[in-house]
Structure 1
Amino acid sequence: MTLFQFTIPPLPHYMASGFTINAPGFKHPGRRRIEVFDLLVVTEGCLYIGEEEQRFNIEAGHSLILRPDAYHHGWQPCKVQTCYHWLHFQTTGGWSIHDSNYSEYEPADADPSAAAAARIFTTQTFIKQVPQFTKLLQPAKVTETIRQLTELDRHNHRSSVSWKQQLLFQELVEQLSASFEMHNSSPAALCAEQAATYLRQHYREAVTAKELGESINFHPVYIARCMQKVFGCSPIDYLTRFRIERAKLLLLQTDQPVARIAEEVGFSHPAYFASSFTKHEGISPRKYRQRFAHG
């Protein structure tokens, strides 16, 4: 496995992110030396990206980080609709790229006492390793973090929001690193991830806590505790949030009536859908469509 190795501090920092939906036949444009790291996380379909002579098939649940100093291109068009999050980040610190079998060289101090004295007044750095291409250990958690970062972009002219984005980005780096450091995963995280995957797959259905528990072989109370710890919300809140995200796409991409969209994403009552949407987005579904779909 190829690893990016960052010398910290300074920390890699977040710049911008977004979500893209490409129709079959789309081919990623060629770009050379874009001067930022480009993280791609596919949620549906498959993205075919080349970096110099290497070729990657980024399927759902996988991520790829493109180098800031290389040539990137689409080596094959998408065969099916492909959805992915993208995120640009950079570092002003040192970085390198190595194979996972690489062993970092740490030179010995010629004069240990002198080196110890010097370290009192100097910043000590350390290494953080992140896989360039990997199957994500917790894809739902990764995509949720990027979604939050993208949502905050609208208000990042405020220092407090920019600070929150940087904190979220450090969480994201840790999530990517955990995909390489498998031993860092906990039973609670794996339980929450399984529950999130089931909810995403069955969001159109009326999922009950009992059905969720039986599907992944965990007690509903334990599932709720794990999801609260990992995602910061209950299973029903996670499901509602995901349904609303799917509804937002349909509001922008189709002319279906709001009531039909509510039914398609799993809400049995249009009025409850409208109130839930307004609570999460601060705007009604109809006004959301008017504002973003029709300018």
Structure 2
Amino acid sequence: MLRSWKGKREPGANLNYKLKKPEALSMSVIQFHALPMPYYICSGHCLTMPGRGHPDRYALGEFDLLVVDKGCLYIGEEGRSFELAEGHALILRPDSHHYPTQGCREMTGSFYLHFQTAGVWEAVNEEENGQPAPGQGAGVLNAEEDQHRTAVFDIRVPQFIRLHNASRMYELLRQLNELERDSHLGPVKWRQQLLFQEVLMQLGNSMTDRAQRPGSDIADQAASYLRCHYKERICISDVGDALNFHPVYIARCMQKQFGCSPMEYLMKYRLEQAKKLLLQTDLPVGQIAQDVGFQQAAYFTSCFGRWEGMTPREYRQRFMLGHSRNG
């Protein structure tokens, strides 16, 4: 039974990706005044072990785009905290201090892409009406603008966002990484710059898509909370308390965004984690059930069978044997 939710924000209130944070910040946007265009420097992919975090660095001098394809990174920048889960992108500013807010809870994979601009850039905050407002500060890498430039336009990309088309972004970043070994060649550099421009377009498209889907931020916040706390006892009221939104509104947002209720999302995520443990460890089924948030092994087996069409033991036997034959 849902409790009374007096004082909770109603639909249409300002949506912010800040879990359990008292301050409310608008969406941060990095805006480049082009020409000249932002330019690609280098890229790669790294794995972060459980307990480790993103490097603690100050004023790197380059923009650092991070895109997580597995797990979750916990990163802070000048007092702001970000949970960078799978399918999310974050741009770290070249003039700021960024650091891990906590270690990874699981093996985490992330793409990184360093880039820079010879022109002017600034950080702005998106107001509720969608118009830019002055940010906390601005970075100007070329203090004296050329007054005779023509066809100047703005490139606006979100600093932090859930990607509209994560698979396309992964593919672009993989292509960039494959070109790194020959990046000293002129034609390769040009190809990398073209791919990088599409990366910026994908970021911009994600921001446009978000504006067209009211409630998507709330769905993302709820999903992030469920992923972070899946090992614990969770009910919809816990999610409502964490996000300070009515649970009925949260459920409606998640249904629209993910096609399922918060508890169905939690169930699916727990079962995905269980499948990994079944194939990657020799832990007993009962132990795995507890490790992924099920209080009773029998209930875990029942849910697993309903979603996968087989018991956990049958799943382990079938796919571990198949893996051995293929190996």
Is residue 2:107 matched to residue 1:81?
A: yes
2:197 aligned residue: 170
Instruction: Return the TM-score normalized by structure 1.
Output: 0.56
* Alpha-carbon displacement from aligned partner over 1:27-52 (angstroms, at most 9, x marks no partner): 22210000000000001111000001
Residue 131 (structure 2) aligns with: 103
Mapped to 2, the partners of 1:150 and 1:27 lie a distance apart of 22
Q: For residues 86 and 190 of structure 2, what CA distance do their matches in structure 1 show?
A: 30
Match of 2:41 in 1: 15
Structure-2 change in CA distance of 1:31 and 1:21 (3 Å): same
- Equivalent residue letter for 1:64: L
Percent of aligned pairs with the same residue?
41
Structure-2 residue corresponding to 1:38: 64
- Alpha-carbon displacement from aligned partner over 1:140-190 (angstroms, at most 9, x marks no partner): 1001101100110111111001000000100110001100011899xxxxx
* TM-score (normalizing by structure 2): 0.51
Choose from 173, 191, 194 the match for 1:146. 173
Map of 2:234 onto structure 1: none
Q: How far apart, CA to CA, are the structure 1 residues paired with 2:87 and 2:323?
A: 24
Map 1:40-55 to 2 at 5 A: 40-55=66-81
- Paired position in structure 1 for 2:53: 27
Given residue 99 of structure 1, which amino acid in structure 2 is its aligned partner?
Answer: N
**Do the aligned partners of residues 79 and 184 (structure 1) sit closer, same or farther apart at CA in structure 2, a change above 3 Å counting?**
closer
Match of 2:156 in 1: 129
Deviations 1:83-116 (A, max 9, x none): 11011000011111111226359xxxxxxxxxxx
Native 8 Å contact 2:65 2:92 kept in 1: yes
Q: Distance in 2 between matches of 1:25 and 1:140?
A: 27
Work out the CA distance in 2 between the residues paired with 1:184 and 1:51: 24
Alignment of 1:137-216 (within 5 A): 137-182=164-209
What amino acid maps onto 1:97 in structure 2?
A
Q: Could you tell me whether the CA contact under 8 Å between 1:13 and 1:90 is conserved in 2?
A: yes
- Aligned equivalents of 1:32 and 1:40: distance in 2? 16
> SS at the partner of 1:168?
helix
Shift of 1:269: 7.3
Structure holding more helix per residue: 1
Matched residue, 2:303:
none
Gaps of 5+ in 2: 1-26, 134-146, 213-318
Distance verdict in 2 for CA 1:79–1:9, change over 3 Å: same
For the 8 Å contact 1:178–1:184, the answer to whether it is kept is no
| Contact 2:68 2:110 survives alignment (8 Å) | yes
Do 1:18 and 1:87's aligned partners in 2 also have CA atoms closer than 8 Å? yes
Between the aligned partners of 2:123 and 2:179, the Cα distance in structure 1 is: 30
State the alpha-carbon separation in 1 of the partners of residues 201 and 84 from structure 2. 20
Number of residues of Structure 1 aligned to a counterpart in Structure 2: 179
Structure 1 residues 9 and 83: alpha-carbon distance in aligned structure 2, compared to 1, 3 A threshold: same
The residue that corresponds to 1:206 in the other structure is: none
Shift of 1:22: 1.3
Correspondence for 2:97: 71
Structure 1: unaligned runs, 5 residues or longer: 106-118, 186-259, 271-295
Give the superposition deviation at 1:122. 4.1
Considering only aligned residues, what root-mean-square deviation do their CA atoms show, in Å? 2.7
The residue that corresponds to 1:93 in the other structure is 119
Aligned residue identity for 1:8: A
